[in-house]
Homo-oligomer: A and B are copies of this chain.
């Protein structure tokens, strides 16, 4: 953390105003590292997988998060100190003070536990009020009318779901297809106190992968079926198992540990991606969320966890099977048909209930909203509606954020024999979702090492913020001029280069080791004779001599083709 602050990777935001919890600033080196991780993710998950990448706003009108359920369910339990008035997250206090996990407890259960364990205000030791739910959406007003409530998005997913119709067209009307988004999200955490791990503003990289629930096969699963995953599935958790088991993808699917092939496929990709950031596979595992811990939209969720020295096992990505929850809700709230048409091999004759809205009586009872109610009736399940009208005399039609009471006079119901060429279904969704800030932190922590009492940041070479440093051995005798030429030449070849001539050469090497710069070029007196420079390796501190004109090619091969440092000598 000290290194991160001092060398400009990250620090708490608004320091001169006392700092603001839950917000961090990325400094010059941090920004470069973060962007490289982001670009690598896009390369692995979007470019290589042929997914679409979209970019939608952070702010959304209220109805979007009413539909998604966030205005109702995106809450955490809050408690207030009776003495000093400070507010805290009740479940976190319990976890910290009583070392008990209490995800998924009801408010009453939480309260009971808080009393049992005598949980107190961490600041003044005062007693605490019974917990309440606090909604963590950031709320604002869009435009000059105060009634137009808007929220900051807590995830990028709704920008994808609410665009499903258009995206399906862009996918040329075929399942499966995946859409990714990388973007800033905001979550109004109650009392974030974990530095870069629990943020009020964070960057999420996520994929919504849409597939036909009746044809959920992942065509790519064959290529990864022997890959190993370390899993802690619900089944084993309920048996009291606490250590992950290592199984192949094939076994995980056969034993029902992972329910969706698409999720399994992306879990393998996630494992490999985190490995590319420098976190070995054996430091990673996937833990299934228990039913009471899962988000309101989820059928099955695995968290990808990584051991961090300061924060324990931390979730770097989540792998949810979101079923069709979101599309269904947006369909209901918007009145737009978001179902896709799946053709049958042969047309089928089927007996079908047809419910038609009776426009006159709807207009009479619902006025301006009649058209919307009519659309919602067409989208509803005819069997359920007819059954309700028969049994109860009315049907509660949800949509547009309201409930409409539909009575028999509002509809005409008849039975028809129709020939159907296919059916309309709502796709299911596999959602791998990554926290970029946590990936960044994990990459930094796993790169941190010490060698002979000095810090060497062993970042994977393709993530290093500065790719190559250029130094004149001395800041005289024409060496700086020559070194600046080399610097300019490498810049023009597209490398991220740092020039430095201040202090001893040893100190300059140490500065670069500390920020993970893989290579350093030094211009010395021999350079002036024969146009060779020394090239130094961050990790081994080995040096080779190489002709200046060969440098661009050598660097190209080192970064792109991952040539070993010692083999670069062959290029010269």
Interface of A with B (CB < 8 Å)? 8, 11, 13-17, 20-28, 30-32, 34, 43, 47-48, 50, 52-61, 63-64, 78, 87, 134, 138-145, 152, 159, 162-163, 165-167, 170, 172, 179, 183-184, 186, 188-191, 200-201, 330, 333-334, 336, 338, 491, 494, 496, 499, 502, 560
Whether A59 pairs with B140 at a CB distance below 8 angstroms is no
Q: Output the residue of A26, A58, A59, A141 with the most chain B CB within 10 A.
A: A59
Q: Which 10 A/B pairs are nearest by Cβ-Cβ distance?
A: A28-B52, A26-B55, A16-B334, A87-B144, A57-B201, A31-B55, A25-B56, A16-B336, A23-B57, A8-B170
- Cα A23 to Cα B336 in complex, Å, equals 20
| Residue of B14, B52, B142, B200 touching A64 (CB-CB under 8 A) | B14
- Cα A54 to Cα B184 in complex, Å, equals 15
A184: which B residues are within 8 A, CB to CB? 58, 183-184
Known: A170-B8, A334-B17. A53 touches B25 (CB 8 A): no
Known: A56-B25, A59-B201. A188 touches B142 (CB 8 A): yes
Chain B residue nearest to A139 (CB atoms) is B140
| Copies of this chain, whole number | 2
A264 to chain B, nearest CB (A): 22
Whether B170 pairs with A28 at a CB distance below 8 angstroms is yes
Whether B58 pairs with A16 at a CB distance below 8 angstroms is no
6 contacts between A and B (CB under 8 A): A8-B170, A16-B162, A17-B334, A59-B152, A143-B200, A152-B152
- Cα A170 to Cα B15 in complex, Å, equals 15
Q: Output the residue of A26, A30, A140 with the most chain B CB within 10 A.
A: A140
- Cα A364 to Cα B530 in complex, Å, equals 74
- Cα A53 to Cα B9 in complex, Å, equals 11
Q: What 11 additional pairs, Cβ within 8 angstroms, besides A31-B53, A59-B200, A138-B142?
A: A14-B60, A14-B162, A16-B338, A17-B64, A17-B162, A20-B142, A28-B53, A47-B496, A78-B144, A140-B152, A494-B560
Whether B200 pairs with A142 at a CB distance below 8 angstroms is yes
Q: Output the residue of A8, A16, A23 with the most chain B CB within 10 A.
A: A16
Whether B191 pairs with A17 at a CB distance below 8 angstroms is no
A401 to chain B, nearest CB (A): 10
A285 to chain B, nearest CB (A): 30
A429 to chain B, nearest CB (A): 17
Chain B residue nearest to A201 (CB atoms) is B57
- Cα A330 to Cα B14 in complex, Å, equals 11
Chain B residue nearest to A56 (CB atoms) is B25
